[in-house]
Structure 1
Amino acid sequence: MFGLIFRSLVALPLPLPLPLPLPLPLVLLVAPQLAVLPAGAAELKAPGSQSCPLPKPGRYVLMGEGQKGVQPLAELAQEQWLPGGRIEGVRYSRLGQGFEEETYGATYSSMPGCWLSIKPVGRSSRRPLQVALDRTGRPKVAIGTEVGVVFSAQYVEQSEVSCGWKQLDGLVISVQRGNSLEAGRWLPNAVIQREVWNAGQVRGKAVSSYGGKSDVVGYTGTMELAPNCLAKLREVDAAGRAYNYRAIVLASGRGYFYLQTDPTDLTLGYLARQR
């Protein structure tokens, strides 16, 4: 945001003459190995067994990307998982040049094998998903089940505390991939960044490759950050080009996620705060 292994039965060959007995010391060396189980074997359970954990209520951030037809897509969301199978969230979404922001509701229900099914409620355009849980019931990875769409995502647990500049100030480094629209075609881009934050102001340097054309540029920017950890970010590089993002800051202080909103550039990134 991923069963049991069945061994085939094979017909045994004709019996071979029995080998001579092994010397006693060698038997003592070999016999203990026959009883050794693979690491974690005791934890293997059949799909749908009662060992599956219950979904853990809490706040989570979802970050995912994929493709619909020839258009790239990406989503960034913050969700509150509630007891009883309800989800309330805020979602930022890109499909090609389009951008959408919405609040939504959804439901989650258990499936065999420690999986969940998530379905939107009402008119929400949030994608239906199948989600894999970890051993404690937290969502970890997901895949979209919408026909004609390829989409995968990962979840990050978001603590319930409010966000402020203390969770972001300092050095942040990232590596990310995206897409840029050139002459009617979406071409891949890649960017690495090193930036320093101070009270909502950022100064950094980016090394990028847009469609195979390399560039190195400095930039500055400002962020509007709400206590619920949702943010807007605007950056301007040394050549005067502006870049706009919706962002979610991690309350743990681990950094932030962002989704670019400029129509001809689609980048979804995780920028990791260095401690």
Structure 2
Amino acid sequence: MRAGRLAAAALLLGPLLVCAAPLRSQEADPPPSAPRACPPPRPGRYLITARGRLPEGPVARLMQETWTAEGTVEGVLMERRGRTYRRVGYSGTWKELIPCAASVQRRLPPPGPPAASPPPSPAVAADAEGEAGESTTEPPGVSQPSELVIGPDGRPRFGIDVTPGSVISERWRLQPRRACSASTLDGVMVGPGNGFAWTGSRWAPLALIQRQTWQGGAVVGVAVTSLEGKGSVSAFRGQASVEESCLGTLRQQDAAGRTITGVLVAHSDGSGFAALRTQPDQPALLLMERVGPVPPSAPGP
């Protein structure tokens, strides 16, 4: 009789025990492994190009920024904000947010009306039209925060300006600590650019590509430009000045006599440069890369 009751209990409990076995097995499985963490953000000097919009209009920026191992930041900002250009020094801090992401907090002078233009360098004509002045005397007081993604080598690669009201993306490039000069950029450069042009009542989208030949600061080239789909092709020549810090100025004039002025940051390894137009009607960035040496027929300084 007792044996019969045990057999009946086994029949009733058997399915429950069978069902429970997989549950115990699942609970014992280890959790999935976490993705491999990125290395910590890498201190160094960086070239940053940024463009987008603020409530008051389009904005384009060039920055050369140095991160220290202690978490501090020093840099130079060259910015076109609508029709106003400024160049200011700044300081700040950086930190890792989570693996593969970091933030930087810059402390900048508040934007204001353009000051009188400073004397240009000897390599650039003194009558550079449309080049607004620099302002470096205003007291610091405006925060400009950015959040970044970090590459597998620890270098910041891309960023977003997270200032309220802004829609601005950033591209970061490591800038090794080497002295620059005008001859750093000797060779053939090609690259695209885009931004906006003021039509008298609104900002219209602008796109361009250029081929340039550099030798000792002298530049000749060809530009293809599209303003709202209306294309044009023009040849130009110009002159540039590049400081040891790799910051410089550029002035070009085409066959029709139109003048383009700008500032630039040379890649310290000579592989290219980034330029920002400074005349009030065209906030545009140009990203050039070196594709060949100086040809035999290139212009001299």
TM over 0.5: yes
The whole-number CA distance in structure 2 between the counterparts of 1:128 and 1:239 is 42
Conserved in 2, the CA contact under 8 Å of 1:104 and 1:124?
no
The whole-number CA distance in structure 1 between the counterparts of 2:33 and 2:254 is 55
Establish whether residue 44 from structure 1 lines up as the match of residue 35 from structure 2: yes
Equivalent residue of 1:128, what SS? strand
Distance 1:236 1:268, change over 3 A: same
Give the letter aligned to residue 136 of structure 1.
D
Conserved in 1, the CA contact under 8 Å of 2:47 and 2:62?
yes
Conserved in 1, the CA contact under 8 Å of 2:101 and 2:147?
yes
Trace 1:1-275 onto structure 2 (pairs within 5 A): 44-45=35-36, 51-69=37-55, 71-121=57-107, 123=140, 125=142, 127-275=144-292
Equivalent residue of 1:167, what SS? helix
The whole-number CA distance in structure 2 between the counterparts of 1:248 and 1:126 is 23
Give the letter aligned to residue 189 of structure 1.
L
Match of 2:117 in 1: none
Distance 1:103 1:42, change over 3 A: same
Conserved in 1, the CA contact under 8 Å of 2:63 and 2:76?
yes
- How far the C-alpha of 1:184 sits from its partner, in A, is 1.4
Give the letter aligned to residue 207 of structure 1.
V
Equivalent residue of 2:144, what SS? coil
Distance 1:106 1:161, change over 3 A: same
Runs of 4+ in structure 1 over 4 Å off: none
Q: Higher mean Cα deviation, 169-178 or 84-93?
A: 169-178
Match of 2:133 in 1: none
The whole-number CA distance in structure 2 between the counterparts of 1:257 and 1:158 is 12
The whole-number CA distance in structure 2 between the counterparts of 1:76 and 1:126 is 17
Conserved in 1, the CA contact under 8 Å of 2:196 and 2:205?
yes
The whole-number CA distance in structure 2 between the counterparts of 1:214 and 1:224 is 29
- How far the C-alpha of 1:66 sits from its partner, in A, is 0.7
- How far the C-alpha of 1:183 sits from its partner, in A, is 2.5
Equivalent residue of 2:41, what SS? coil
The whole-number CA distance in structure 1 between the counterparts of 2:155 and 2:42 is 5
Distance 1:197 1:261, change over 3 A: same
How much identity, in percent, do the aligned residues show?
31
Equivalent residue of 1:252, what SS? coil
- How far the C-alpha of 1:228 sits from its partner, in A, is 0.8
Q: Higher mean Cα deviation, 118-127 or 235-244?
A: 118-127
Conserved in 1, the CA contact under 8 Å of 2:107 and 2:144?
no
- How far the C-alpha of 1:225 sits from its partner, in A, is 0.8
Give the letter aligned to residue 220 of structure 1.
R
Unaligned runs of 5+ in 1: 1-40, 46-50
TM-score (norm 1): 0.79
TM-score (norm 2): 0.73
Which fold has the larger relative contact order, with Cα–Cα distance below 8 Å and residues 6 or more apart in sequence? 2
The whole-number CA distance in structure 1 between the counterparts of 2:286 and 2:142 is 22
Greater gyration radius: 2
What is the root-mean-square deviation in Å for CA atoms of aligned residues? Answer: 1.8
The whole-number CA distance in structure 1 between the counterparts of 2:285 and 2:107 is 25
- How far the C-alpha of 1:95 sits from its partner, in A, is 1.1
Give the letter aligned to residue 264 of structure 2.
A
Conserved in 1, the CA contact under 8 Å of 2:183 and 2:217?
no
